[in-house]
DNA sequence: TTCATAACTGTAATTATATACAGTATTTAG
DNA sequence: CTAAATACTGTATATAATTACAGTTATGAA
């Protein structure tokens, strides 16, 4: 989506809220009434601008024929991460799951399908989906998704300093990873905010 | 209020699908066109009947003013189960979580907050929420919610016969429960279809 | 300076839509 | 058996809604 102006965002959000609360989009008149426009054409102009910017679609000759585009592209499930590219690269996306607002206390940017048994002591098993937020501040004690020398791994972050990062597998048969971030490439891809397991 | 006729269900589902795919409800004419009615009043009559039955609301004088009455008031989270009453009794409901269709392969009737460590070997930890479907056939090998002599427990069902039911805790320091259902009261409250853990 | 975009006012026409009224035929519950 | 509910046809109309055209004012970029 292109950059919406402040006013356009207001209009867009109003439409979104109306759909949320009523179950159907507003008319030009309703938009105008809400924003104090004296002409329904003001709303028409805004809708055209929003359509031009691609955030919604308008069905010609159709009352309330507003379809939001932005809304529901789902949350990607990342399976095996191929080396090199970004974790959310399309080739890594196994499928998408619907958004589930309100179930977890933090937002979820993607799910990562767990490989291996390095976290079984905290109840994270192979093929579980862990919910990742990629914008939370990386904090010791949290379970993080780290990329070390282009390999993605899930561990508990034990220590975080300029010269030493310690990542702890939650499985007594594995040893802690000690990384010197000045010598090895280390990127934090996100923090684990939840776990999802499907018994099918 | 829920006994819709076959035709009414068809109409209702069509409206639901239209909202899903277009983002706004259909008009009387669109409904009539879809079902081959020769008068928009046929649709009007149906809408009135559906309103009367409480499954939707109509905004007078409003185009596409159909609001579906989401029966999705949320999925209850069951904390401690008090002895005696049914598991879904109000006093057991700790809170409710929004429905999350499409995330788990089976429907979820309620979440049960896990107490104790009897299932840690399969990665079910204290305070995890396990998603329970109470209508799936009870099958050996599945993790089930059972009520034995009025006490609710979560275990793997190992054996199920008239004279002997074996419930296995997934923790090597616990022993299997062997129940004779002719002598002890045993009710299966549901089957575990998923697990939810929130790292907050 | 000039042109495009944004953000409106004001008017008006066409058409999309809701919805009442008057019927008919069939099915269902008391 | 009868009244009510279901499931429509057919007609009609007020009004809800889209949307074009013609302007105004302000702003920022070329």
Q: Indicate which of A12, A16, A18, A24 best probes the interface with B, i.e. most B CBs within 10 Å of its own CB.
A: A24
Q: What is the CA radius of gyration of chain A?
A: 22
Indicate the pLDDT class of residue B87, thresholds 50, 70 and 90.
Answer: confident
Sorted by where each starts, the structural domains of chain A and their CATH numbers stand as 6-68 (1.10.10.10), 75-196 (2.10.109.10)
Q: Which residues of chain B are within 8 Å of residue A22 when distances are taken between CB atoms?
A: 59, 65, 67
Q: Which residue has the higher pLDDT, A82 or B67?
A: B67
Residues of chain A with pLDDT under 70: 1-2, 70-73, 81-85, 90
- How far apart, in whole angstroms, are the C-alpha atoms of residue A188 and residue A139? 11
Q: What is residue B110's predicted lDDT score, i.e. its pLDDT?
A: 93
Contact yes or no for B127/B92 (Cβ under 8 A): no
Residue nearest to nucleotide D7 (CA to C1'): B42
What would the two tokens of residue A15 be? 């439409």
Q: What is residue A73's predicted lDDT score, i.e. its pLDDT?
A: 62
Choose among B19, B25, B198: nearest Cβ to A105.
B198
In percent, the amount of chain B with pLDDT more than 70 equals 94
Q: What is residue A117's predicted lDDT score, i.e. its pLDDT?
A: 93
Q: What is residue A96's predicted lDDT score, i.e. its pLDDT?
A: 87
Q: What is residue B151's predicted lDDT score, i.e. its pLDDT?
A: 87
What would the two tokens of residue B196 be? 């939810």
Q: What is the per-residue burial (b if ≥16 Cβ within 10 Å, else e) of B98-136?
A: ebbeebbebebbbbbbbeeebbbbbbbbeebbbbbbeeb
Which strand (E) or helix (H) includes residue A144?
Answer: strand A143-148
- How far apart, in whole angstroms, are the C-alpha atoms of residue B104 and residue A104? 15
Distance from CA of B183 to the nearest CA of A (A): 31
What phi, psi does A45 have (nearest 5°)? -60, -45
Q: Looking at the predicted structure, is the pLDDT value of residue B69 above 80?
A: yes
Q: What is residue A103's predicted lDDT score, i.e. its pLDDT?
A: 86
Whether A33 and chain B come into contact, CB under 8 Å, resolves to: no
Q: What is residue A1's predicted lDDT score, i.e. its pLDDT?
A: 45
What would the two tokens of residue A22 be? 């009523």
Segment among A51-55, B118-122, B162-166 with least mean pLDDT: A51-55
Q: What is residue A85's predicted lDDT score, i.e. its pLDDT?
A: 66
Choose among A100, A120, A200: nearest Cβ to B105.
A200
Q: How many helices (H) and strands (E) does chain B have?
A: 3, 11
Q: What is residue A185's predicted lDDT score, i.e. its pLDDT?
A: 92
Q: Which residues of chain A are within 8 Å of residue B123 when distances are taken between CB atoms?
A: 120, 123-125, 128, 197
Restricting to A residues 1-20, those with a Cβ less than 8 Å away from any Cβ of B are 19
Residue B116 CB partners (closer than 8 Å, separation 6+): B126
- How far apart, in whole angstroms, are the C-alpha atoms of residue B167 and residue B153? 10
Indicate the pLDDT class of residue B4, thresholds 50, 70 and 90.
Answer: confident
pLDDT tens digits along B94-112 = 888 888 777 888 989 999 9
Q: Looking at the annotation, which residues of A are catalytic?
A: 118, 155
Q: What is residue B1's predicted lDDT score, i.e. its pLDDT?
A: 47
Distance from CA of A14 to the nearest CA of B (A): 15
Q: What is residue A158's predicted lDDT score, i.e. its pLDDT?
A: 96
């Amino acid at each position: 989506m292109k950059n919406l102006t402040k006013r356009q965002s207001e209009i867009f959000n109003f439409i979104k809220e109306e759909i949320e609360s009523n179950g159907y989009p507003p008319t030009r008149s309703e938009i105008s009434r809400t924003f104090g426009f004296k002409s329904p054409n003001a709303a028409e102009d805004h809708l055209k601008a929003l359509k031009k910017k691609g955030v919604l679609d308008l069905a010609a000759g159709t009352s309330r024929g507003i379809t939001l585009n932005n809304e529901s592209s789902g949350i990607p499930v990342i399976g095996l991460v191929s080396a090199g590219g970004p974790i959310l690269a399309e080739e890594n996306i196994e499928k998408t799951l619907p958004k589930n607002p309100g179930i977890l206390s933090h937002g979820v940017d993607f799910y990562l399908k767990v490989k291996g048994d390095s976290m079984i002591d905290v109840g994270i098993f192979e093929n579980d989906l862990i919910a990742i937020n990629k914008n939370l501040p990386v904090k010791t004690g949290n379970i993080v998704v780290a990329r070390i020398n282009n390999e993605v791994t899930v561990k508990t972050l034990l220590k975080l300093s300029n010269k030493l990062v310690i990542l702890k597998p939650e499985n007594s048969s594995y040893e802690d990873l000690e990384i010197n971030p000045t010598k090895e490439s280390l990127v934090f891809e996100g923090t684990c905010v939840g776990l999802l397991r499907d018994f099918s």
